[in-house]
Structure 1
Amino acid sequence: MAASAVDPKPIHRLEESLINRIAAGEIIHRPANALKELLENALDAGATQIKITAKDGGLKLLQIVDNGSGIRRADLPLLAARFCTSKLSTFSDLSKLQTYGFRGEALASISHVAHLNVVTKTRDDSCAWRASYSDGLLAPAKAGTSADPKPCAGNDGTTITVEDLFYNTPLRLRALKSPSDEYARILDVVQRYAIHNPSVSFLCKKTGSNTADVSTPSSGTVKSAIQTIYGPSVAKELLEAQAEAGTKDEFEWQAEAWFTSANYHAKKPTFLLFINHRSVESARVKRAVEAVYSGILPKGACGFIYLSLDIDPSKVDVNVHPTKREVHFLEEEAITEKVADSMQAVLAANDQSRTFQYQTVLTGHSPFKSQGKMKRSDLQKERTPAGSDEEIQSEDEVEDEENEQDLDLERPRAGPSSSLKPSRKPSQPSYKKIRNDLKTRTLDSMFPVLQSSSESQSSQPNMEIEKKEKAPAISESRCFLTSVQELRAAVKKAKHSHLAEIIVEHTYVGIASMNLCLSLVQSSTKLFLINHAALSEELFYQLGLMQFGNIGKLTLEPAPSLEELVRLAVDAEAAIKEQGLIPEKIIKSILKTIMAQRAMLAEYFSLEITSSGEVSTLPLLLPGYTPNLDRLPLFLMRLAPQVNWTSESECFSTFLRELAYFYVPGRVVQEKEDPAPEEQEEGKRKSEEWQIEHVLFPAFRKYLVPPRGLLERDVVQVAELRDLYRVFERC
């Protein structure tokens, strides 16, 4: 049977809006693509500060604010039109391109799949201009209004807001992953460009968040940017390699590479490639540079690599991918080989002088040992001189015996005539054999303490009495003030779950530096360096907020004069004299402000000041902890200028911050006064160390709700037992 004839269908031109929407789908795949285009526009405009805000992974809102050159008012009608650009005039311009954008498709594509708003101001304009776009054309911001740009207030630069991305392409919207995954892709784009542009300040955060997920300064280097984003564990192992064109090469090129040494490796590779300052991908280049580690690191492991190639623009084809994700350039194999050789040479030169950081004994909780086990190592230490080789050997033997006892618990119990053979469990990995008893040894026990017998007899009993006293538990007070409830809710919302787990499960190791307020703690198999002053300030702020209206009192007898305390602080402030200010006027102003708030301070914060101007009581935030009263004059002086007395919420928040700063451990250095006797200074230091170990750190574990901001500078991982074992396995 003959096939039925099919009538040919007529060919017709697609509608312009459909054409543009299809083209937009080739360029804007997800929010990260839109951000990359907007970031490159901001960098082309000479911006030195770029701020990114995202909501729901950039799908609901994606905003980028820069301080670049801005956009002229006359150019706004063509801003979102397709193939309108200031970068190209003729096709030959592609061979000498020095900018990121050049096709004029980014904003046009975004306007076809999202609501696009722009606020821009050049340095010569007297005001900023606001414009809205839809389908590449100017659109009215509200129904019934004109589509022309409107004058508004604004700073120099450009603010671009993208809302409801893919609202008119639901299939594309459903194909995307979760908002958290999309936000992770946004962070990856920001981090890449922040490392490549260390002279530009980048800030990226979620809408409504008080802390930034990426924050870099505008005056830095590539190495400092890598440290800020990827942490000190990567930065301390960075090596640098340079490569450039030789005399026989046909064109000029040069390369700069930052990569980790053999001391660092990770399972997930990190490879950042920039060609002519554009973030691109190249599977061939990636394979070549990662092969440098093949003979050094364990199988499957790799390092961190950042590579920047500057190549003659006439030898690079930038127009080979819709999103500019890939580029092609001449002599790719030869250039890649030279870069890999230079990296190999640097690695070989540094391989002979590798250094390893380790700690012989890490104290702390471990999930691998039973909590109810008898501490046989304690009994062994009583029979062995401290610090001797015999002690170390005996501890290892006791540990092995304990492991074997664990195995014996699993063996079937049989009589002498039983034919059952004991079945032995697989031996425990070496990296899991960690000490889990904090009483076994601390950091202080590793250093000899020389003191007279009279000192030890006089001070030790009192110390033991203080240890046995249990401070009353702190409970949250009932407060119906909306401002206080909002502040408490903000503390709970800012909680970082992983950091909270570290704080709750930590084991105190010792103080690393009293001057820098640094202490060592262990959590599981990780060792952390903690700024206990920063954690204390956050703790005391939260304790003051928790006990608002019901704070304990610390009575001062005799009650000092408020005026005398403020005068001490003002006289010690060098800036007042340098600026030619009159101290008496400043003192009167401070006294007037504090005395006017006397009733409120007594009711809410237990800071009682008599009508005659004497400080009778201070807030007692943590039972068992006494703040350094040498800081009291400074605290009272700062209340007037640093506390916002006009707003209820701001008043409570800023006052509690100042109170927390007063409570932070640390002594005031008095340069003019004669130094205290050495014995007195030693006593103060020991007392402060005891409070930090036995009062502050237990309070951290019990009460602190740590925010994410503490991870940026104040909590740093310095060692991980498993990683140390991997290092020594390679040696």
Structure 2
Amino acid sequence: MVAKIKALDPSVVNKIAAGEIIISPVNALKEMMENSIDAGCSSIDILVKDGGIKVLQITDNGSGIEKDDLPILCERFTTSKLSKFEDLGNIETYGFRGEALASISHISRVTVTTKTKNDQCAWKVSYSEGKMLGQPKPVAGRDGTVILVEDLFYNIPSRLRSLRSPSDEYSKILDVVGRYAVHSKDIGFSCKKMGDSNFTLTVRANLTIQERIRTVFGNNVSSHLIDYELPEIEDIGVKRIDGQVTDLNFQMKKSIQPIFFINNRLVTCDPLRRSLNQVFGTYLSKGFKAFIYLNILIDPQSVDVNVHPTKREVRFLNQDEIIEKINFHLNDELSKLNTSRTFKTSTLLTGQPVEVTVVSNSQNSNASRPVRSQSQLQQIKNKIYEHKLVRTDSSQSKITSFMKPPTERDTQTFNTANIPKKRLRSTFEESETVDIDDETVSSSTTTQVVEEISNDDNEVNDENSITGDGIITNGYKIVPRKRTSVDLTSILKLRENVDNTAHRELTNIFANLTFVGVVDEQKRLAAIQHDLKLFLVDYGAVSFELFYQIGLTDFANFGIIQLKTEDKKDLQLFEILSSIDIISKDEKSIMQIIQKFWEMKDMLKEYFSIEFSNDGDDLRTVELSSIPLLLKDYHPPMSKLSFFLFRLGTKVNWESEEECLSSILKQIALFYIPEIIEKMDTTDEMSEDLKIEYINKKNYINSSLENIIFPCVKRRLLAPSSLLKDVIEIANLPGLYKVFERC
């Protein structure tokens, strides 16, 4: 056997390690800048080309590098900062792993020029893949080190493609340089693009912290700074915490990422950031952000600096206690400032900005309370622009809902025998399922609707009827009946699956939709509005999910649609199934389906309100007596009854409980989907009856969708992720305004 596990080539290992440490040019700069600070420099100059990808050069006036150290300068795990693992407990320098320059040299071309105070000249040498190329050459130079990095990621094309534009990368470089410039006392920083005559950022070495913040972040921030200082707290290992934060008159909606230095390391600390923002949130007006700079010194033995490849995170003991102390002290400082506030507003007539100072007698007054100046007569409210104005309310009924909807007598006065078989088949399509939310389950005691359907002309209710082969009348009978409690594991599991597949945003769209109208009855497309957006939805797929979820919710508690005809043959399963072309001549298959129904008749009646009856012993005379009623005032298209029974007999796995119950509910949901109405040109020569039938069917589907199905969708549907493909945004109001400049 040939061994499958092999050691990686050292060059591959080094590239992988370099990719973990150097993610972008700003990471390379950060590592080199920290080395310069460790070298005791007082000046750092940075030169950048193409966002640091083509050229990234850093020059310092620190102690320099000894000539004898140059051969191993870019090798991995070579450092002057520590000699044993225990030294990490007392480390106070930025670098300690000896991986920064090594990683950079494996993904770029590095040139180092360095000179110590004792050297007579500077030494220049190049590196590639951690190795020194040739011997150091003597050159003229000043004390300190110049590191030139060229063609970053030249040998990792995938990383190069993942980088943002050069301007974005340069912005990141300026951000990290500015943060170190704020923190690093007595060190000057400068940064510019190659070829520019002026520096983008210049911070002199003799500036105070407030002046450094002004240089980096502007006067708006520096003019509102207050000192933050927390003395030593020995019991939790805190040596000192100081910094600068903005006062309560600072008004800026653009968020500035807090600057946290823990033991002089620039890190991100999300728990501390969130807690400080919460404190400021109780004082600042809504939408305004604070500027925060904190320098936290903790006992080195309580800090683990070796937890992240780029050193952007650290872990320290007593984190919760330290954050709590910082919060309490900040809250105390801000409460002292909460006696007067300055707000910028404008006059009603000229619109010119005016500063208004409001004084509060209570130090604990709530800063978020609306403040009105004496010179203003009313509060100026935010203007809602027309292109962002929602002009519909999903909670209000449309005026069409007050009109009398088309009744079944108006819409279904057609003979199902006249519908082509091909069209019958097309109404049944495979679709995915989603489960229901437990909140849709109704109370334990309820009433069940029993709907009787009769073909006796003498009993036809003129107010609501269906005529044709299967003439139907509506007569709702409310029968008091205690709700059946469902404890079947399979049903509970199917319900639970809904929560796992529900898509929150899509469910919210359906819960707050406004029905616009049917777009295409043949493709089953409808338009709905949510907020400022217009969506095109497949109402067939939406209806399937709705009726499947209703089936799970009301399992074993369905209403009943009772079927009655003058001629019993019309409801015999053998006659119904024989009308389907694909099995009309296969009597054996028909009898097998009927046999299976008869064996399962008790289960189908108890759980699904599907009832079969037989006056004799011959299975040919078995009749369909009732079908389930899922939604009041809406009936399944009876033209799909034959294929519903056919698929119920052939597509259900009767051996597995969960698959069986799920499949039956799917078939019922497919049965209830509004039928496809093929387009017809009413201007063509056709009988008047066909025109009326076609128009009535369209009106009925439009009315059912608007007044019955989609209102139920708003109340009950938990939209699964699978429905995303059936919902398409076709327009939004801001986009339309850009084109038409009006609504």
TM-score band, normalised by the shorter chain?
A: 0.3 to 0.5
TM-score with structure 2 setting the length: 0.46
Larger Rg: 2
